[in-house]
Copies of this chain bind each other. A is one copy, B any other.
C-alpha cells in the first residue's frame, strides 16, 4: 500500500509539504476550508477534501474532521506543518490512536516541551542553560511582583503554552506588571486555550538564535543555527544562516546543548531549540519548537539537506540521509517573509484579491509561496504570503541577491511589507550585522516609505501619461451607445406624440 500523506495545513507550508511528498514519490492529500477551495494546496495535491467553514476553529483546528478526511482518503500519515494543531500533543495523540503516523515528534515529546514551565525544569536537569526565572505559572500580581523584584527588572511575561510572540510582554517597572499579566493571559487564553503565564529575567539586547535538530531512531544531529533577530512585535521578519555572531566553536557548544535538549524528551523528526545569545557569548535555552519552522529553508540552503523530506523519511521509519560526519554550513542564506501587512499603515493587515504575481527567480533564489493569481487574501488566516530565500557565497552576496530578488517580486492586489525589506537590506547597521532582537524598535525610520526624487518624478510621469491616455480614449462605449439609441427611440416617441 502506498504511503499517502494528509497535509493538515494551508498556505506556503502546505505547498512546501506537498512538494516534498511528490519528490519522495508519495501521494499528497490536501484539506481545505470553504475559503480555500482554489488554494495552492488544493491545486498541487493529488486529492483534496473539504473540512468546513473558513474560521480555523471550524476547519483547520478540527481534529475530528481532519481524521475523517484521512480515513476517507486512505491516508497513512498526517503532516501538521506549523501553527494550527502542529504543537498540540492531543492532535499527535489522536493521529497515533487512529493508527496513522504523525509526521513530527511523538505526542509525549510535544507534551513535555509544550508546557514551557515543565520544559525549563527538564532542561535544567539535562544540563541545558536556561534563563533565570520562575518555573511555575504565576497569576497573583503580588506574587509576580515579588518574583520580579528578585529577578530584577526588566522581566518578561510569557505564555506557558504556545509561542510566536503572542501572550508575551516586556515589563520595565513594577507598576506595569499587573496590566501586562492581564493582557498576556488574555492573549494566551485566546491563542492557545490556556491563560497560564510565567515570569523570567529579560535579557537585554540579546540575539535570537535557534538551532535546528533532526532525529531518527538512531541519531540526533544538529544542523547549525539560524539568526532570527529581525523581529517586529516578536514576529520574525528576516532570518539567516549562519549567524554573524557564532564562531564554529560556539556553534558546536550550542548545537550540543540543543541535541541534549532533544534527547531529554526522546525527540524524533525535525525540531528547533530557541536560544537567547547575550552579547557576552552566554546563551540560554528558551523553548523547543516541536515542529518544522517557517524559516527552515535557510538551514536547507547552507546544509544541502531537505528537512521536510527527511521528516517524511523518518516518519516512514527510514534513516535520515544526513551524513554522520559533522556538517558545516556552506555559504550564506537569507529569508525575507513577505506578509500582507502594510508598513505604511503600522503593519496592519491588508486584504484583497491577488491580481498579478511575478515571483523572483534566477540564480540562487528560492520562492516558497502560498498563493497564486486569483486567490483572496482574507483575515481568517496568518498574513504570511510567501518567503523569498536566497543563497550566496558570502553574507554580502546573499544580501545583494536578496535585494535583486525583492526588486523582481511584484504582488498586485494587496499591500505587503516588500518595500520595508528593501529598506532594511540597504541599511548600514543591517549590512554590518550589528543588530539584536529589538533592532526594529530602535529603527522606526525603516518602517516609513521612502521615495527618491527620481522615483517620484518617474511615477508622476507614469500617472500623467496614463491619465492623458485615459482621457484621449474616453469615447462613447457600448453602454453609451445603447443609451443613445434609447434616447433616439424616446425622441421618436416624443415626435410621434408631438
Give the interface of A toward B (CB within 8 A).
15-16, 19-20, 22-25, 44, 297, 300, 304, 306, 308, 321, 330-331, 356, 358-359, 361-369, 372-373, 393, 397, 400-401, 403-404, 407-408, 478-479, 481-482, 485-486, 488-489, 492, 496
Asked if A363 contacts B297 (CB within 8 A), the reply is yes
- CB-contact partner of A363 in B19, B24, B397, B401, under 8 A: B19
- CB-contact partner of A23 in B306, B331, B356, B401, under 8 A: B401
**Contacts beyond the supplied A16-B362, A19-B363: 14 A-B pairs with Cβ under 8 Å:** A15-B362, A19-B404, A20-B363, A22-B407, A23-B400, A44-B408, A300-B363, A304-B393, A306-B363, A358-B372, A359-B361, A365-B366, A485-B489, A489-B489
Q: List 14 A-B contacts (CB under 8 A).
A: A23-B404, A24-B400, A44-B408, A304-B331, A304-B393, A306-B393, A356-B373, A361-B361, A361-B367, A364-B366, A478-B478, A478-B482, A481-B482, A485-B485
Min CB distance A25 to B, Å, is 7
* Complex alpha-carbon distance, A485 and B484, angstroms: 11
* Complex alpha-carbon distance, A38 and B397, angstroms: 29
In the complex, residue of chain B having the shortest beta-carbon distance to the beta carbon of A366: B363
Asked if B372 contacts A361 (CB within 8 A), the reply is no
* This protein's copies in its complex: 2
Min CB distance A331 to B, Å, is 7
- CB-contact partner of A485 in B15, B19, B479, B482, under 8 A: B482
Asked if A400 contacts B363 (CB within 8 A), the reply is no
Q: Which residues from chain B contact A486 at a C-beta distance below 8 Å?
A: 485
Provided the pairs A23-B404, A393-B321, A404-B23 are in contact, do residues A368 and B372 lie with their beta carbons within 8 angstroms?
A: no
Asked if A369 contacts B363 (CB within 8 A), the reply is no
Asked if A364 contacts B397 (CB within 8 A), the reply is no
Q: Which residues from chain B contact A366 at a C-beta distance below 8 Å?
A: 361-365
Sorted from nearest, which 9 A-B pairs have the closest CB atoms? Answer: A361-B367, A22-B404, A19-B362, A23-B400, A485-B485, A23-B404, A478-B478, A23-B401, A489-B489
Q: Which residues from chain B contact A44 at a C-beta distance below 8 Å?
A: 408
In the complex, residue of chain B having the shortest beta-carbon distance to the beta carbon of A20: B363
Min CB distance A374 to B, Å, is 10
Min CB distance A316 to B, Å, is 16
- CB-contact partner of A361 in B330, B331, B369, B489, under 8 A: B369
Min CB distance A375 to B, Å, is 12
Q: Which residues from chain B contact A331 at a C-beta distance below 8 Å?
A: 304
Q: Which residues from chain B contact A482 at a C-beta distance below 8 Å?
A: 478, 481-482, 485
Q: Which residues from chain B contact A478 at a C-beta distance below 8 Å?
A: 478-479, 482
Q: Which residues from chain B contact A321 at a C-beta distance below 8 Å?
A: 393
Min CB distance A128 to B, Å, is 31
* Complex alpha-carbon distance, A481 and B485, angstroms: 11
Asked if B359 contacts A330 (CB within 8 A), the reply is no
* Complex alpha-carbon distance, A25 and B478, angstroms: 51
* Complex alpha-carbon distance, A408 and B19, angstroms: 9
Q: Which of A19, A356, A486, A489 has the most CB of B within 10 A?
A: A19
